[in-house]
Chain A
Amino acid sequence: MVEPSSEHIVSSYEDELKELARLISEMGGLVEQAVTNSVNGLVRMDDELARGVVKSDQEVDDMQRRIDDLAVSMIARRQPMASDLRQIISTIHVATDLERIGDMAKNIGRRTIEIGDRQMSAQLYSGLKHMSELALRQIDRALDVFNARDEIGAVEVCRRDDELDSLYMSLFREFLTYMMEDPRNISDCTHLLFCAKNLERAGDHATNIAEAAYYLKTGKSLVLESDSMGTVG
């Protein structure tokens, strides 16, 4: 668990490592914005916002490609070792997770367009809104601990994923009740249920990012005893 103190003798190598960190921050910002916009689009039934999210996913995908290309080129040219190697490998992982979170936001955007202006119970939306806040906090925190190489913070992020899981489970039950009450709700409720699932999955990807932060700092995989059985669906 050793951190490099000084800079590389080869300054262009140092520049590339910094560029890698900068790209991840930029990609993280894009993805967080996409999740925020997608949920806002959903609860406000804002078709324009939703379309914007779907469109902007291309930008996130391009970003991941840029990060991958730089990482592969660095491995080929620099033969990275120790913490540099771990930084490059974990950056690849984080970029993949961010890209997946971007997909989750895109899915929510698509479903928002599908639902159109059909109004659902405000209570369901507030549950989703709360979930999205929790998911965003997890993503934000995970990116922070990755950037700061904070292994203690990383463990905290992983532990907090349970909150998101239980929130999803309670929403799941709520949607079921709603569907049983009136079968006409089934179609829209299914859309919302999938949106909730997307947010829950986004939280899982935030956990992966925190695990990458833990590996980056310690060189070890983070193994936590989990008492939950995971989520359904």
Chain B
Amino acid sequence: MDTTSQEQTKKFEPPAATAAAAVETATQTGSKTRVSARDVNVHYGEKQALFDVSIDIPDRGVTAFIGPSGCGKSTFLRCLNRMNDTIEGCRVTGKILLDDVDIANPDLDVVELRARVGMVFQKPNPFPKSIYENVAYGPRIHGMTSSKDELDEIVYSSLRRAGLYEEVKDRLDQPGTGLSGGQQQRLCIARAIATKPEVLLMDEPCSALDPIATAIIEELIDELRENFTIVIVTHSMQQAARVSQKTAFFHLGKLIEEGPTEQIFTNPLDKKTQDYITGRIG
């Protein structure tokens, strides 16, 4: 993090109404809001992909986005760390506050934002480098450490937190790409948490993994939620039901319903949610 980018980072004061709404949600769910989105619209060229999405994402919990393909859940997830910036013709409007900072602000340092909002993708994508370097890369480029010992400590603790350390401690210098699919995904999680992000975005993190590797990742998500705010996009409703405390259902670019996971899966209020989770609409 250099000083220029710090200066460029403008703080955004939330309007009173939004703050009040956030406080209200926080009281309802019993935890404070970490990310607050209001009236988010996304266009890809002429096509509108998201319509007026407003949602509060609680701190230190798992929020799951579900919905059929093309419903906008991944598009919205990608708004949370400005990944949509990389897509040509993509236009995002509305407000997304991470704590009090408007992350849609064009002057915001996106590199710093992505250190605060980490991401794990559908397919494990370790760098073609050693296991150690995969995890050390982020902290190094963000200048988080001043000595090799400190860097070692971050790498080891991140690997430990990702539940991978015991399996790889004797071959940290070997390529990350040589690990199994499930191990690679845990390596990517270790890489994402090495920069000590506040929010961890997961875009179908288990869809390329077998059931056992999936169970290990789910167990890990359960542990990580003590320290991180996790947002997961998943096509497996059972997974959403298992790992999340809050679930949001998207359909045709709109946020149809959000609520406590238990309520969404046992007694949803909206007919579209009901029809989707019971397998009546695709």
Candidates B241, B268, B281, B282; contact of A2 at CB < 8 Å? B268
For the complex, what is the distance from the CA of A94 to the CA of B159, rounded to whole Å? Answer: 51
For the complex, what is the distance from the CA of A34 to the CA of B273, rounded to whole Å? Answer: 42
| A contact residues, total (Cβ < 8 Å) | 22
- Bits for B254-281, please: 1 = Cβ < 8 Å to A, else 0: 0000000000011111110111011111
For the complex, what is the distance from the CA of A86 to the CA of B278, rounded to whole Å? Answer: 11
Most buried by B among A10, A80, A83, A219: A83
B265 proximity list for chain A (CB < 8 A): 81-82, 85
For residue B146, CB closer than 8 A to chain A, the reply is: no
For residue B238, CB closer than 8 A to chain A, the reply is: yes
Question: Whole-angstrom distance from the CB of B274 to the nearest CB of chain A?
Answer: 4
Candidates B267, B268, B278, B280; contact of A80 at CB < 8 Å? B278
A86 touching B280, Cβ below 8 Å? no
For the complex, what is the distance from the CA of A4 to the CA of B271, rounded to whole Å? Answer: 7
A79 touching B238, Cβ below 8 Å? yes
Chain A's closest residue to B257 (CB) is A2
Q: Given contacts A82-B267, A219-B266, is CB(A4)–CB(B280) below 8 Å?
A: yes
A5 touching B279, Cβ below 8 Å? no
A10 proximity list for chain B (CB < 8 A): 279
B271 touching A5, Cβ below 8 Å? yes
For residue B179, CB closer than 8 A to chain A, the reply is: no
For residue A8, CB closer than 8 A to chain B, the reply is: yes
A6 proximity list for chain B (CB < 8 A): 275, 280-281
B268 touching A82, Cβ below 8 Å? yes
A82 touching B238, Cβ below 8 Å? no
Chain B's closest residue to A17 (CB) is B278
Q: Given contacts A2-B268, A2-B269, A219-B266, is CB(A83)–CB(B279) below 8 Å?
A: no
A144 proximity list for chain B (CB < 8 A): none
Q: Given contacts A2-B269, A2-B271, A219-B266, is CB(A82)–CB(B277) below 8 Å?
A: yes
For the complex, what is the distance from the CA of A10 to the CA of B281, rounded to whole Å? Answer: 11
A4 proximity list for chain B (CB < 8 A): 271, 274-275, 278, 280
For residue A7, CB closer than 8 A to chain B, the reply is: yes
Question: Whole-angstrom distance from the CB of A115 to the nearest CB of chain B?
Answer: 48
For residue A122, CB closer than 8 A to chain B, the reply is: no
A5 proximity list for chain B (CB < 8 A): 271, 275, 280
- Bits for A75-97, please: 1 = Cβ < 8 Å to B, else 0: 00001111111100000000000
A85 touching B279, Cβ below 8 Å? no
A81 proximity list for chain B (CB < 8 A): 237, 241, 265-266, 277-279
For the complex, what is the distance from the CA of A9 to the CA of B282, rounded to whole Å? Answer: 8
B266 proximity list for chain A (CB < 8 A): 81-82, 85-86, 219
Within 8 A of B (CB), among A1-33: 1-10, 13
A8 touching B238, Cβ below 8 Å? no
B277 proximity list for chain A (CB < 8 A): 81-82
For the complex, what is the distance from the CA of A7 to the CA of B282, rounded to whole Å? Answer: 12
For the complex, what is the distance from the CA of A83 to the CA of B280, rounded to whole Å? Answer: 12
B238 proximity list for chain A (CB < 8 A): 79
For the complex, what is the distance from the CA of A2 to the CA of B263, rounded to whole Å? Answer: 12
Q: Given contacts A81-B265, A82-B265, is CB(A9)–CB(B279) below 8 Å?
A: yes
Chain B's closest residue to A215 (CB) is B267
Within 8 A of B (CB), among A189-233: 218-220
For the complex, what is the distance from the CA of A6 to the CA of B279, rounded to whole Å? Answer: 10
Within 8 A of B (CB), among A82-133: 82-86
Question: Whole-angstrom distance from the CB of A125 to the nearest CB of chain B?
Answer: 47
Chain B's closest residue to A85 (CB) is B266
- 12 other contacts beyond A2-B268, A82-B273, with CB at 8 A cut-off? A1-B267, A4-B275, A5-B280, A6-B275, A8-B279, A9-B279, A79-B238, A81-B278, A82-B277, A85-B265, A86-B267, A219-B267
Q: Which 5 A-B pairs have the closest CB atoms?
A: A219-B267, A2-B274, A81-B277, A2-B271, A84-B278
A residues near B (Cβ < 8 Å) are: 1-10, 13, 79-86, 218-220
13 A-B interface contacts by CB (under 8 A): A1-B267, A2-B269, A4-B271, A6-B275, A6-B280, A7-B280, A8-B278, A8-B279, A9-B279, A82-B265, A82-B268, A82-B277, A86-B266
